[in-house]
Amino acid sequence: MAASSQAVDQGARARLGIVGMTCANCSARVERALARLPGVITATVNLATEQATVTFDPTQLGVDDLRKAVEAAGYQAYPLADGAPEASDAEKAAREQEIRRQQRAFGLAALFSAPLLLGMILHMAGVGGGLSQLLNNGWVQFLLATPVQFGAGWQFYKDAYVNLRGRNANMSVLVALGTSAAYGYSLAALLWPELGIPGYYFETSAVLITLVLLGKLLEARAKGQTSEAIRKLMGLQPRTARVIRDGETLELPIDQVQVGDRVVVRPGERVPVDGRVVEGHSSVDESMLTGESLPVDKGPGDEVVGGTINKQGSFTFEATRVGAGTTLAQIIRIVEEAQASKAPIQRLADRVSQVFVPAVVGLSLLAFAGWYLTTGDLTASILAMTAVLVISCPCALGLATPTAIMVGTGLGAEHGILFKGGEHLEAAHRLDAIVLDKTGTITTGEPHLTQVVPLPGWTEEELLRVVASAERRSEHPLASAILARAEARQLPLAEPEAFEALPGRGVRARVEGRQVLVGTQRLMAEAGIATAALHQAQEALEAAGQTAMLVAVDGQAAGLVAVADQVKPGAAQAIGALRAMGLEIWMLTGDNVRTARSIAAQVGIEPDHVLAEVLPDQKASQVQALKARGLRVAMVGDGINDAPALAAADVGIAVGTGTDVALETADITLMSGDLMGIAAAIRLSRQTMRKIRQNLFWALIYNSLGIPLAALGFLSPILAGAAMAFSSVSVVTNSVLLKRFDPRAAA
């Protein structure tokens, strides 16, 4: 399969599936091998996903060079296509192949180890007789143990050799050393009885390998469940689309659909790509996108998103985004990148793992020396050394963080919450304060004109016509409300000249030879225009939560227009939920103080937590001011003017109804405009971090308690092997249990 790489500002991006990694040391080795290549900008390897994400300069190297570097490090690599169903197929096939490989290895090991284990049990129980004598015969044990040691267990020797050659030590090194010590001891006792070496421990090495292989098999199956979310998302896109070309309706593969194509969708079918409805009416289930269960009515002019489900009528739409440009493909890319990224807490595990294995080898030698010097018992010394080697494998430590991040980001995507990286998922749980933009975030962002107040010399109709003409080139939501009313009244609008948008203050334009100003009191004061005659009406409207815009023509006040924006349903409930979580809630707006406080009162925000009359270029500094107080701040916004504040915050959260700029700048994207998504994102972050801390605790406790017990002889190699296998499986399983968490349920 040809790799797909995505061009980015800093280079090209490629993803590789990696086969053969067993612990954090392996992933670190692959990461170093990729990072050393000339032209590689960044390289991240995820043990849980068994994937590498590389940003590189395509003028210096290609995907094939990346693959060769991984293979030179001792692992297999295959390219993955971003966000394509084929990528899911390849990942699934590789996962299934690895599971089958471990099944074969475990089956072989179990077949030959079972008699050895039975013989050990019979011997320990004091059972004599023919069967016990047969199974405890040295040559019989040798014949049973050897296929396990060098057949099923060959993968450990191979991997250990590759890593040691590269001056790296990983789990395979520990398993190979530990089992070889027990096997070699037993072989020496069998071949040279004159040495007087007591007993055989073939069953120890064979059962150890079997238990480790069982752990790897269970771990591979469990890890497959952590990447379920990506496969679900990829499965949402149909493989074909019904396209009208040259008057004919054709069933085409999805990758052949082009922008501008007319696409037909029948009841019960998934929308294949993004587009705009041109004919027909229906309701569409967008729950995969927003997490909201209620279908959304669609008609001519409405946007539809690929992957959503058409519930009722048929409709035809024009494709506007296809391939990697669709919303679904972008969501998949964001989730893939988030799962491949490393949360800051992962650095602890990485640092520990890098020095852990060499340290363990040293501890095992000390355990051997200590036992031999104090007791002179070679058997006990070897068993203690083997137990230390096996119990110390840092597999659980390497899986503790990435498995939880995978499940957390995938679960977020299922609920319409996109985390753009593990670092953002982690940061969200530390937040102290939430800063909410007003227009489009707390309110619907769809204002409507409520009042036109003309001063003497002006009629309501003429004032509205002049204001609407001046606002024709404005992209502000308030301008849209004014224009909508003027068009509804069928007023003849003039084309403005010398139009100038004044951020945070209003607009200036020349309409039919007259200089028109529409905007705030600040704008009028700057122009030296007296507006005392409008103060009473202005105050009354603003106290009612409406935005009053003053109008001046040729340097004289002409009246005002008022626009109201409705508070989003559920906004008050969402803010209450955030406050119940112990968060400070602030509102940030360019609107005047009276209007802002009126809206704030409706949703339960205290008056002293309202930051009003803030110019767009001042929003970021307001966020910085809160951070300077020691608060960890999230900014929630939807507009272009929110982008600097989103970037300045510890966590930027964009609502999905907002602009592309805001969505690109934000760290977390809420695919719906529902503010309850903020609380859901923070709950999910807190729960994911709780899982990570649990995983790290048990992984570290396991090693911290296990190593001394093994060194002191309280833990046999077989029990150590069972414990090691259980530790990895338990960590992955604990992460998978996160899938049961409902982030939208009240805490």
- Which 3-state string (H, E, C) describes 317-366? EEEEECHHHCHHHHHHHHHHHHHHCCCCCHHHHHHHHHHHHHHHHHHHHH
Q: What is the pLDDT of residue 640?
A: 63
φ/ψ of 242, rounded to 5, equals -95, 105
- Per residue in 189-240, pLDDT (tens digit) is 888 887 666 677 788 788 878 877 887 777 677 666 655 656 666 667 788 8
The enclosing H or E element of 31 equals helix 24-35
Q: 395, 366, 384, 365: which is closest to 182 by C-alpha?
A: 384
- Tell the burial category of 151 from Cβ atoms under 10 Å away from its Cβ (0-12, 13-18, 19+): middle
Q: What is the pLDDT of residue 169?
A: 67
Q: What is the pLDDT of residue 333?
A: 74
First to last CA, the chain: 46
Q: What is the pLDDT of residue 415?
A: 85
Helix axes 535-543, 593-603, angle to 10 degrees: 20
Q: What is the pLDDT of residue 393?
A: 67
Distance of alpha carbon 154 from alpha carbon 266, whole angstroms:
55
Distance of alpha carbon 55 from alpha carbon 14, whole angstroms:
7
Separation in Å, CA 431 to CA 27, 652, 677: 31, 11, 15
Mean pLDDT by 10 residues, the chain (747 residues): 39 82 77 90 81 88 90 83 56 74 90 87 73 86 93 87 73 79 84 75 82 75 62 74 89 90 91 93 78 76 88 90 82 70 66 71 88 87 81 72 84 85 88 90 85 93 94 84 91 90 87 92 92 91 88 94 88 93 92 86 92 83 92 85 83 73 73 87 94 87 83 79 74 87 76
Distance of alpha carbon 592 from alpha carbon 597, whole angstroms:
9
Q: Who's near 666: CB < 8 A, 6+ residues apart?
A: 420, 646, 652, 653, 654
Q: Which positions are annotated as active-site residues?
A: 437
Q: What is the pLDDT of residue 351?
A: 66
Distance of alpha carbon 86 from alpha carbon 323, whole angstroms:
13
Distance of alpha carbon 328 from alpha carbon 238, whole angstroms:
11
Distance of alpha carbon 313 from alpha carbon 609, whole angstroms:
47
